[in-house]
């Protein structure tokens, strides 16, 4: 199936990926081919078939709403590209 | 044949060799076969410390079968204090503050980890060529791929570096590299092995397992890693079978369904012939062969390449340059931080799958792609359920070809995806399956895939083990 360039730009924006202008045509072509594979699904008769999200239809496990780990904030913040005063630091969001 | 787990364990307990000596031998072998590029990280000091601890345990008699046995982890399992990259630039410098459930289990069993094996980035690939750290090579022919995504694990075992390695299988990533490298690869039932600390690709398909030199060795590792983990909500709270005891079941009276759909036009003649010969051997061992059909498996690749990318696009949204992983330099805005960090951090195939998944989940396309793929998924699972009413196991070729050449399929994503044609349906249905060495085609290993009903790992391992007692394909090793 054909994917137009505007669709590539829209999907890339949703996925927070940058696709350069030069790469748009080849990416559109590749996406079209992969989604063309998915178009085979249109041939299956799925009338009355419930979607299957998961291999085992088990009820998700519940647990007590209790602390299971100690305070490891420092260990996790240490992984951040930028963290100060116990907080993750990001570029200014509000002008 | 390089010694397997069982032989090494006997020698360790008889004090013929020490865990430290085994560790040094594995490190030396890893250096000799550095051409395979099987490892991303080797942690020599951690290995020797673990080996000394294992020797101390062996001296006290408080050992398990895996005590002192060298092995390697696929670099998708988080290891506390040891960098875990998932073969991605995104996690090039990520050092987890905790161990994965599988890592804890093998630590508790006192197995001795050499380090972290190469793989396709975020487990997305069938050749190990999508690694930020370069491709791993096939020990049978270094010009060929080891398969993927657990390619480094397969190359490390087949190359004689370690007797076993962990792997993960989302669409064939344990079984196909095991087939390409002439070793045994077990993908357990979905939910049998904890996904805690196993970096997520497609959460309803991802499954941890093992690659080793025999079904017997796979049995020992599965016995150590299987079991409920409350930290993984999809881990199944069900007692673990005694897999060792299950091996005593012979093939007498076992009905094997031969999946004719898996011998289709895309399967090489040499692969088909080797698998047919292996099936004749099963008949000699007392099994009955019955042709069966899994008609909806024809749609498996299409369903898989919607569901897996959709789940991946959601799972990989966590890589935002804020909390951990790669961050771009001098971001101009929050959106710029997200977009450039992700575009710099992810490789081409990962970005392709994120885009495909984002499209399949986007407004206006969700029903036609994602929901439809989930309905087809149920048809595929129902095919298996129907077949298992009349047979105990299902057999066919693991992969349609032997190991292909490096670079042969990198230009065409669809050609690469077709390598998974016989493996993805098993993940969609959540079933256990094993790839067993079954002969050679043009001098390269061929794998026989056996599939069992959910939680019938014991029957699967037993059927593979009895085949290996009667054949020596699994004992063949590449030269060098």
SS3 assignment for B137-200: CECCECCECCCCCCHHHHHHHHCCCCCEEEEECCCCCCHHHHHHHCCEEEECCCCCECCCCECC
Asked if B376 and B240 count as a contact pair (C-beta separation under 8 A), the reply is: no
- A59 pLDDT band, cuts 50/70/90, is confident
The yes-or-no answer on residue B401 being catalytic is no
Asked if B166 and B153 count as a contact pair (C-beta separation under 8 A), the reply is: yes
- CB nearest to A18's CB, from B97, B301, B340: B340
Is residue B463 scored above 90 in pLDDT?
Answer: yes
Asked if B387 and B395 count as a contact pair (C-beta separation under 8 A), the reply is: no
Residue A27: inside a domain: yes
Determine, for residues B191 and A55 on separate chains, whether the beta-carbon distance falls below 8 Å.
yes
The pLDDT of B35-44, averaged and rounded, is 98
From the candidates B194, B328, B375, which should be mutated to test the interface with A, based on the most A CB atoms within 10 A? B375
Please, which residues bridge with residue B352 across strands?
none
Find the domain containing A35 and state its range.
5-42
- pLDDT score of A10: 97
Inter-chain CB pairs, A–B, below 8 Å: 162
| pTM assigned to the model | 0.97
CATH number at residue A10: 1.10.20
* Residue B287 Cα distances to A19, B35, B243, angstroms: 55, 42, 20
The CA distance from A75 to the nearest CA of chain B, in Å, is: 6
Q: Give the list of residues 6+ apart from residue B18 with CB closer than 8 angstroms, or none.
A: B12, B51, B55, B58, B68
Report pLDDT digits (tens) over B143-202.
999 999 999 999 999 999 999 999 999 999 999 999 999 999 999 999 999 999 999 999
- pLDDT score of A20: 94
The pLDDT of B299-311, averaged and rounded, is 97
The pLDDT of B453-459, averaged and rounded, is 98
Question: How many residues are recorded in chain B?
Answer: 480
* ipTM computed for the complex: 0.96
- pLDDT score of B7: 96
Chain A residue at shortest CA distance from B83:
A79
CA B113 – CA B75 distance, rounded (Å): 12
> Which chain A residues have a beta carbon less than 8 Å from that of B373?
38, 41
Report pLDDT digits (tens) over B323-365.
999 999 999 999 999 999 999 999 999 999 999 999 999 989 9
- A2 pLDDT band, cuts 50/70/90, is confident
Closest CA to B282 of B474, B448, B442, B454: B448
Residue A22: inside a domain: yes
Residue A13: inside a domain: yes
- pLDDT score of B264: 84
Q: Quickly list DSSP for B285-352.
A: TT-EEEEE--GGGGGHHHHHHHHHHHHHHHHGGG--SSSSS---SS-SSHHHHHHHHHHHHS-HHHHH
Residue A69: inside a domain: no
- pLDDT score of A62: 84
For B436, the token pair is 């067993």
User: Which is the catalytic residue, given B18, B127, B131, B149?
Assistant: B149
Chain A residue at shortest CA distance from B97:
A75
Would the CA dihedral through B296, B299, B301, B306 be positive or negative? negative
User: Which is the catalytic residue, given B74, B116, B187, B409?
Assistant: B74
Report pLDDT digits (tens) over B96-128.
999 999 999 999 999 999 999 999 999 999 999
User: Which is the catalytic residue, given B150, B173, B194, B435?
Assistant: B173
Determine, for residues B237 and A61 on separate chains, whether the beta-carbon distance falls below 8 Å.
yes
* Residue B39 Cα distances to A5, B147, B159, angstroms: 40, 15, 12
Please, which residues bridge with residue B393 across strands?
B256
CA B371 – CA A42 distance, rounded (Å): 12
> Which chain A residues have a beta carbon less than 8 Å from that of B204?
53-55
Determine, for residues B373 and A41 on separate chains, whether the beta-carbon distance falls below 8 Å.
yes
The yes-or-no answer on residue B204 being catalytic is no
CATH number at residue B70: 3.90.1300.10
**In total, how many domains does chain A have?**
1
Residue A21: inside a domain: yes
CA B273 – CA B125 distance, rounded (Å): 27
**In total, how many domains does chain B have?**
1
The yes-or-no answer on residue B74 being catalytic is yes
Residue B58: inside a domain: yes
Which stretch of DSSP H or E encloses residue B460?
Answer: helix B457-470
The pLDDT of B217-226, averaged and rounded, is 98
Asked if A81 and B321 count as a contact pair (C-beta separation under 8 A), the reply is: yes
* Residue B464 Cα distances to B214, B227, B402, B457, angstroms: 8, 22, 20, 10
- pLDDT score of B294: 95
Residue A58: inside a domain: no
CA A30 – CA B270 distance, rounded (Å): 32
Determine, for residues A11 and B334 on separate chains, whether the beta-carbon distance falls below 8 Å.
no
> Which chain B residues have a beta carbon less than 8 Å from that of A18?
339-340, 343
Determine, for residues B378 and A60 on separate chains, whether the beta-carbon distance falls below 8 Å.
no
Residue B99 backbone phi and psi in degrees, to 5: -100, 145
Chain A residue at shortest CA distance from B317:
A15
Task: Please classify residue A86 by burial: count the beta carbons closer than 10 Å to its beta carbon, then call 0-12 exposed, 13-18 middle and 19+ buried.
Answer: exposed
Q: What angle do the packed helices B457-470 and B215-225 form, to 10 degrees? A: 160
Determine, for residues A81 and B322 on separate chains, whether the beta-carbon distance falls below 8 Å.
yes
Report pLDDT digits (tens) over B413-423.
999 999 999 99
Is residue A95 scored above 80 in pLDDT?
Answer: no
- pLDDT score of A83: 96
Query: DSSP character for B405?
Result: B
Find the domain containing B471 and state its range.
5-250+437-447+458-475
Please give the mean pLDDT across all residues of chain B: 97
Determine, for residues A16 and B339 on separate chains, whether the beta-carbon distance falls below 8 Å.
yes
């Amino acid at each position: 199936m054909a994917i137009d360039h505007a669709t590539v730009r829209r999907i890339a924006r949703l996925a927070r990926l940058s696709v350069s202008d030069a790469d748009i045509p080849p990416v559109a072509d590749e996406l079209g081919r992969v989604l063309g594979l998915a178009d085979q699904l249109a041939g299956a008769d799925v009338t009355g078939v419930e979607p299957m999200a998961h291999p085992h239809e088990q009820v998700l496990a519940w647990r007590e709403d209790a602390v299971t780990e100690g305070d490891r904030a420092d260990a996790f913040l240490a992984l951040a590209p930028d963290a100060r005063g116990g907080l993750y630091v990001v570029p200014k969001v509000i002008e | 044949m390089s010694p397997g787990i069982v032989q090494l364990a006997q020698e360790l307990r008889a004090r013929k060799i020490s865990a430290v000596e085994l560790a040094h031998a594995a490190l030396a072998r890893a250096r000799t076969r550095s051409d395979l590029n099987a490892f991303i990280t080797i942690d020599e000091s951690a290995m020797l410390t673990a080996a000394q601890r294992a020797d101390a345990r062996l001296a006290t008699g408080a050992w398990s079968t895996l005590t002192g046995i060298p092995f390697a982890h696929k670099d998708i399992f988080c290891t506390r204090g040891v960098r875990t990259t998932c073969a991605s630039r995104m996690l090039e410098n990520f050092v987890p503050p905790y161990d994965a459930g599988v890592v804890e289990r093998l630590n508790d069993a006192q197995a001795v980890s050499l380090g972290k094996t190469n793989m396709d980035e975020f487990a997305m690939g069938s050749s190990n060529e999508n690694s930020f750290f370069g491709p791993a090579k096939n020990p049978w022919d270094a010009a060929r791929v080891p398969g993927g995504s657990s390619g480094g694990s397969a190359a490390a075992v087949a190359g004689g570096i370690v007797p076993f390695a962990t792997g993960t299988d989302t669409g064939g990533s344990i079984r196909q590299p095991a087939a390409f490298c002439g070793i045994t690869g077990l993908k357990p039932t979905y939910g049998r092995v904890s996904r805690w600390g196993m970096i997520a690709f497609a959460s309803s398909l991802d499954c941890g397992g093992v690659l080793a030199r025999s079904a017997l060795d796979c049995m020992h590792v599965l016995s150590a890693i299987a079991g409920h983990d409350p930290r993984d909500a999809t881990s199944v709270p069900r007692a673990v079978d005694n897999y060792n005891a299950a091996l005593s079941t012979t093939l007498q009276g076992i009905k094997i369904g031969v999946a004719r759909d898996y011998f289709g036009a895309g399967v090489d003649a040499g692969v088909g012939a080797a698998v047919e010969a292996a099936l004749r051997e099963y008949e000699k061992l007392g099994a009955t062969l019955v042709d069966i059909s899994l008609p909806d498996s024809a749609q498996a690749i299409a369903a898989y390449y919607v569901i897996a990318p959709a789940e991946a696009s959601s799972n990989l949204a966590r890589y935002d340059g804020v909390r951990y992983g790669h961050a771009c330099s001098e971001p101009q805005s929050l959106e710029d931080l997200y977009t450039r960090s992700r575009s710099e951090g992810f490789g081409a195939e990962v970005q392709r799958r994120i885009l495909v998944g984002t499209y399949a989940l986007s407004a206006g396309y969700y029903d036609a792609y994602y929901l439809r793929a989930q309905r087809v998924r149920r048809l595929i699972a129902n095919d298996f359920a129907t077949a298992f009413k009349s047979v105990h196991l299902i057999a066919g070729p693991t992969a349609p070809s032997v190991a292909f050449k490096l670079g042969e399929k990198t230009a065409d994503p669809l050609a690469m995806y077709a390598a998974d044609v016989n493996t993805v349906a098993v993940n969609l249905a959540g079933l256990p399956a094993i790839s067993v060495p079954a002969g050679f085609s043009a001098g390269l290993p061929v794998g026989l895939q056996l599939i069992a009903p959910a939680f019938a790992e014991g029957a699967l391992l037993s059927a593979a083990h009895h085949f290996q007692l009667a054949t020596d394909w699994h004992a063949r090793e590449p030269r060098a």
